[in-house]
Amino acid sequence: MITNERVLSAFLQISREKFVNSDAVTLAYQDHPLPIGYNQTISQPTTVMLMIQLLEIEESHIVLEIGAGSGYNAAIMSKLARKVYTLETIPELAVFAKNNLLCSQISNVEVIHTDGKQGYQEAAPFHRIMVTAAASEVPQNLLAQLEDQGIIVIPVGNPYGCEMLKIHKIGKEFKTSKHGLYSFVPLV
C-alpha cells in the first residue's frame, strides 16, 4: 500500500509511543486507532501513511492539518515539508500535541487552538491540506485556502464509512479521486 520511500522514511523517524496516552504505550505499534481522550483517537499507522502518501508532500511545501489530535500526523509530515500548521479545537489536545512535538524535538510544526473547519487564513494559501476527521462535506473555505496545484486529502461522509477523497486544485477546477472507505471521528 505504501510505496513512497520518503513517507516510509518519515514514518520510521517518529516514535508513535510518544504520541499516545501512557496507558496505551504497549499498544502503540498495533495497526489500529487508539483513544487519546476527549472522544478522539490517534489514527492507525497505515491510514496515516496512506493519507500522507496521497498528499504528495515536497520539501518546500507548507501544509495545513485540520485535527492535531496528539500531534502524530504533523510529526511525520514535519519530516517531509518545510512547515506544518496543525489546528485543534479541543484545548487539552492542543496542549497534548504541543508537548508531544516538543518532546520529539520537532520545531517546524505550529499547533494552533482554533476551529479547524475555518482553516487558517493567516498562513494561507497552503500547498497541501490534510483533514483527520470525517466531514459531512468538503468545507469550501478549506478549498479556498488551497493554492493552485494544491492537494487536500479529506474523509467525507458517515464517520463509520466515509470516503477518502483526494482533491487536486488545478486553476479554478477541482479534480477529485476516491481512495476507499474508512472510519474517523466526526469533524467537530
The answer to whether position 125 is within a domain reads yes
Domain hosting residue 102, numbered range: 5-182
Residue 71 maps to a domain: yes
Cβ–Cβ < 8 Å for 167, 150: no
**pLDDT of 109:** 98
187 part of a folded domain: no
Cis before residue 125, ω within 30 degrees of 0? yes
- Residue 159 to residues 74, 82, 95, 164, 188: CA-CA distances in angstroms? 22, 31, 25, 11, 12
Count of domains observed in the chain: 1
Q: Which three cell numbers stand for residue 48?
A: 496515516
Of 123, 6, 127, 120, residue with least CA distance to 61: 127
The CA R_g of the chain, rounded to the nearest whole Å, is 15
44 secondary structure, DSSP code: P
So what's the pLDDT on residue 29?
Answer: 87
| Tens-digit pLDDT string for the chain (188 aa) | 889 999 999 999 999 999 999 989 999 989 999 999 998 999 999 999 999 999 999 999 999 999 999 999 999 999 999 999 999 999 999 999 999 999 999 999 999 999 999 999 999 999 999 999 999 999 999 999 999 999 999 999 999 899 999 999 999 999 999 999 999 999 88
Question: How far is residue 20's CA from residue 35's CA, in Å, rounded to a whole number?
Answer: 8
Please state, as a whole number, how many other Cβ atoms lie within 10 Å of the Cβ of residue 34: 20
Question: At which residue does the C-alpha cell 509511543 appear?
Answer: 17
pLDDT at 9: 96
At residue 141, the 3 state secondary structure works out as helix
Residue 60 known to be catalytic: no
CATH, residue 9: 3.40.50.150
C-beta separation of 90 from 103 below 8 A: no
CA distance 151 to 30: 29
CA 183 to CA 37: how far, in whole Å? 17
Give a yes or no: residue 139 inside a domain: yes
In-domain check, residue 188: no
Q: Does some domain include residue 138?
A: yes
**pLDDT value for 1:** 80
Catalytic residue among 9, 15, 22, 43: 43
Specify the pLDDT at position 43. Answer: 92
Q: Is residue 142 part of a domain?
A: yes
- Per-residue cell: 3: 510505496
Are 164 and 177 within 8 A, CB to CB?
no
Write the DSSP symbol of residue 31. Answer: S
* Confidence at residue 165, expressed as pLDDT on a 0 to 100 scale: 98
Please report whether residue 166 resides in a domain: yes
pTM for the full model? 0.95
Query: Which three cell numbers, joined as nine digits, stand for 107?
Result: 520545531
